[in-house]
Amino acid sequence: MTWQTFVFLAVASAAFGYSGYRLAILVRLMKAQTGKGPAVDKIPERIQTAIVNVLGQKAVLSKKGAGLMHAIIFWGFLIITLGTLEQFVSTIYNQWNFEFIGEAAYGAFAFAQDVSTFLVLVAVLFAVFRRQVLRPVGLGQSHDANIVLTFTGSLMVAILLMNAFFILGHQPTYASSLVISNLISSAFAGLDLSQDTAANFSTFFKWIHMLIVLGFAVYIPSSKHLHVIAAGPNTFLRKLEREKGMKPINFEDETVTQYGAAKISDFSWKDNLDLYSCTECGRCQDLCPAFNTQKPLSPKMLIVDLKENLYRNKAALLAGKLDEVTPAIDINITEDVIWACTSCRACEIACPVFIEHTDKIYDIRRNLVMMESKFPAEVQAVFKNMETNASPWAFSPSDRAQWAEGLNVKTMAEDSSVDILLWVGCAGSYDDRNKKVLRSFVSLLKKAEIKFAILGTEEQCTGDAARRIGNEYLFQTLAKANVETLNRYNVKKVVTACPHCFNTIKNEYKDFGGNYEVFHHSQFLARLIQEGKLKPTKGPDQTITFHDSCYMGRWNNVYEQPRSVLGSLPGVNLVEMKKNHDQAMCCGAGGGRMWMEEHTGKRINDTRTEMALETNASVVAASCPFCITMLSDGMKTKEMQDKVKVVDIAELLDQATT
């Protein structure tokens, strides 16, 4: 055994041993969590999504520039790692290398190594420029990132110099394949180094190369670049479907004494994996409506701060002393941070490693509401109204069907042999503006000769707001009552004009025995037009912009149907806001924020209204009662209510259809 072999084995064993020790601690922290993690199913689909998003970097590349930079570094490292493996093994056994694959193949291998090293170096220089000169807000300043970029850049330089001096010292047959290193060796040729000296320099830089790699191994488990290891598994375990319901609580389980997350230990092992996977890229923050209107919430910092809380409580968690774990709400994650979320899900859709931010916020809210009775003061009235009136508003349940007076709409109690149940929702039942939307939709259903009915006074609030604010018990009370009513009438199909009702009945009632085919009215209207049952003939001849509802778009991936409805109107000029589809900005009403005041920063609905006004459209179309309310208020704030109308797509279609 040579001295080089001995030293390498000693250093490598220490480095990989320490790295393994640190990773073992992280695994033990995952096992210490008391929350229930997700079931791992659909293995073929998970393998496919891992290949597409890890190897293919699909999610990363959704953001141009920075995405390509990261992809080049990732793909480059995959190729360079093979060369590093060759260097490691050849240090232990100096007769071994990859040359056994044949001269031509090894030449191609050497070429790929050399070019990849150069491209990674260029990508690193761009990353440094982006961090130190461009300084995007979402990215922030990270000492950790600067260390890793220094490591990475130095590693690439060491590899190129190692190869350049190897060419001078050994003149390998494949030297012409090392196109970049060849150029560098030509620059050093003028130094008139002997072959032995050049070979010694090559060995020196080989050691620099290997020591940097081993340094990486030591550093990664304790840095944000842990995502290099965690992001792959997290992608494999991601929520595969866009549709996503909140996780129910089993209140009948007497062994459960903690509802929601009071401490970091109350989260699940998958939540820990989310924390490990965060790259701190800031994409979530860039799209967050709360952050962009100067609220205290940053989805990025929420994850960073939760991870800091986890590490701070490491000793207590590993010792099983959960009573010594400090609260999740701390100096960094305040109650204001948690209540600022509109649950628009922009953060999750933007995240390239599929972190689920909203679940963590929901869990903390559940603890605040059900365990500590802490919530914004104005929410108290909402809870009381839901308990006594089955609606967020203080209207009598007996008035729920008054919106339909004169329309000859039957209830299920009068005739349940219908094609579809129209779920009206609280806004359609009680809000004067949205009553008009329901009346227009009913008009369209009748024009299309659809046999439908409503529940009338038997309908109750779906409980969406209660659940997202954190009152899971109240939600389940309402949900179970509604499911019992729907099942009693043997309901199979449901249509609603409210995205929040749509999402709840479609994705969340199934946990309580409610399995229905659920349509949002935009989907249903698009189908009726396609089938020729509705034929718009009178065009509004106006420029219209469409606002995407978060609970239709990011929660359920419904983007094209409402645009299809608008596109069917003769004479319509449909223009998009600068933020649309997955990038659209929330109106500010989701996550129970409809019933909470904004005390900090700029109002979210005002910001979204400004985006709508920038299009110079005379009509802002929407497909959600909350969005209509928030955008209408925004128009009033801007004193544009007489110039720009906010309307539902059903109203526009009804006016255009005879």
Confidence (pLDDT) at 52? 97
Q: What mean pLDDT, rounded, does the chain reach?
A: 95
Residue 37 has pLDDT above 70, yes or no: yes
Confidence (pLDDT) at 3? 77
Residue 615 has pLDDT above 80, yes or no: yes
**H or E element that contains 423:** strand 420-423
| DSSP-assigned letter for residue 42 | -
pLDDT, one tens digit per residue, over 383-406 is 999 999 999 999 999 999 999 999
Confidence (pLDDT) at 5? 85
Confidence (pLDDT) at 141? 84
Instruction: Yes or no: say if 281 and 66 are a contact pair by the CB < 8 Å rule.
Output: yes
Classify strands 619-622 and 645-648 as parallel, antiparallel or unpaired: parallel
What crossing angle do the helices spanning 269-277 and 3-31 adopt, rounded to 10°?
130
Confidence (pLDDT) at 520? 98
Closest CA to 449 of 383, 535, 508: 535
Topology of domain 264-371, CATH: Fumarate Reductase Iron-sulfur Protein; Chain B, domain 2 (1.10.1060)
Confidence (pLDDT) at 534? 97
Tell me what the mean pLDDT of segment 62-71 comes to.
91
pTM across the whole model: 0.94
* Residue located via tokens 């293919």: 56
Tell me what the mean pLDDT of segment 301-317 comes to.
97
How far apart are the C-alpha atoms of 306 and 326, rounded to whole Å? 11
**CB atoms closer than 10 angstroms to residue 100:** 8
Identical fold between 264-371 and 379-530:
no
Q: Give the burial string for 169-190 (b: 16+ CB within 10 Å, else e).
A: beebebbebbebbeebbeebee
Cα 299–chain centre separation: 10
Q: Extract the tokens encoding 624.
A: 């959600």
Q: Give the burial string for 343-366 (b: 16+ CB within 10 Å, else e).
A: bbbbbbbbbbbbbbbbbbbbbbbb
Side chain identity at 365, as an amino acid letter?
Answer: R
Tell me what the mean pLDDT of segment 570-590 comes to.
96
What band does 234 get if pLDDT is binned at 50, 70 and 90? Answer: very high
What band does 635 get if pLDDT is binned at 50, 70 and 90? Answer: very high
What band does 99 get if pLDDT is binned at 50, 70 and 90? Answer: confident
Confidence (pLDDT) at 11? 94
Helices (H) and strands (E) in the chain, counts: 26, 8
Inter-residue long-range contacts of 48-56, CB under 8 Å, 24+ positions, other chains counted:
49/235, 49/236, 49/238, 49/240, 50/232, 50/235, 50/236, 53/235, 53/352, 53/354, 54/231, 54/232, 54/235
Side chain identity at 463, as an amino acid letter?
Answer: G
Instruction: Yes or no: say if 555 and 503 are a contact pair by the CB < 8 Å rule.
Output: yes
How far apart are the C-alpha atoms of 432 and 422, rounded to whole Å? 18
The CATH number of 3-31+63-229 is 1.20.950.20
Residue 302 has pLDDT above 90, yes or no: yes
Tell me what the mean pLDDT of segment 179-193 comes to.
88
Residue 95 has pLDDT above 90, yes or no: no
Tell me what the mean pLDDT of segment 236-244 comes to.
95
**CB atoms closer than 10 angstroms to residue 490:** 9
List of residues 6+ apart from 475 with CB closer than 8 A? 463, 464, 466, 467
Closest CA to 573 of 541, 537, 620, 610: 541
What band does 269 get if pLDDT is binned at 50, 70 and 90? Answer: very high
Confidence (pLDDT) at 41? 93
* Residue 478 or residue 170, greater confidence: 478
Confidence (pLDDT) at 192? 77
**Residues of the chain above pLDDT 90, percent:** 88
Confidence (pLDDT) at 65? 86
Q: Which residues pair with 648 in a beta bridge?
A: 622
Pick the CATH number of 379-530 from 3.30.390, 1.25.40, 2.60.40, 3.40.50: 3.40.50
How far apart are the C-alpha atoms of 37 and 279, rounded to whole Å? 22
Confidence (pLDDT) at 417? 93
What band does 170 get if pLDDT is binned at 50, 70 and 90? Answer: confident
What band does 101 get if pLDDT is binned at 50, 70 and 90? Answer: confident
For residues 41, 43, 46, 48, the Cα torsion angle rounded to the nearest 10 degrees is -160
Residue 151 has pLDDT above 80, yes or no: yes
List of residues 6+ apart from 146 with CB closer than 8 A? 131
Side chain identity at 13, as an amino acid letter?
Answer: S
Residue 6 has pLDDT above 90, yes or no: no
Domain ranges of the chain: 3-31+63-229, 264-371, 379-530, 543-656
3-state SS assignment for residue 545: strand
Q: Which residues pair with 543 in a beta bridge?
A: 573
What band does 204 get if pLDDT is binned at 50, 70 and 90? Answer: very high
What band does 1 get if pLDDT is binned at 50, 70 and 90? Answer: low
Q: Is the dihedral of CA 55, 56, 60, 61 positive or negative?
A: positive
How far apart are the C-alpha atoms of 420 and 126, rounded to whole Å? 57
Cα 388–chain centre separation: 36
Tell me what the mean pLDDT of segment 530-539 comes to.
94
Residue 653 has pLDDT above 80, yes or no: yes
pLDDT, one tens digit per residue, over 337-384 is 999 999 999 999 999 999 999 999 999 999 999 999 999 999 999 999
pLDDT, one tens digit per residue, over 39-56 is 899 999 999 999 999 999
* Residue located via tokens 């001096």: 165
Tell me what the mean pLDDT of segment 10-34 comes to.
95
> Which region among 131-140, 407-416, 487-496, 643-652 has the lowest average model confidence (pLDDT)?
131-140
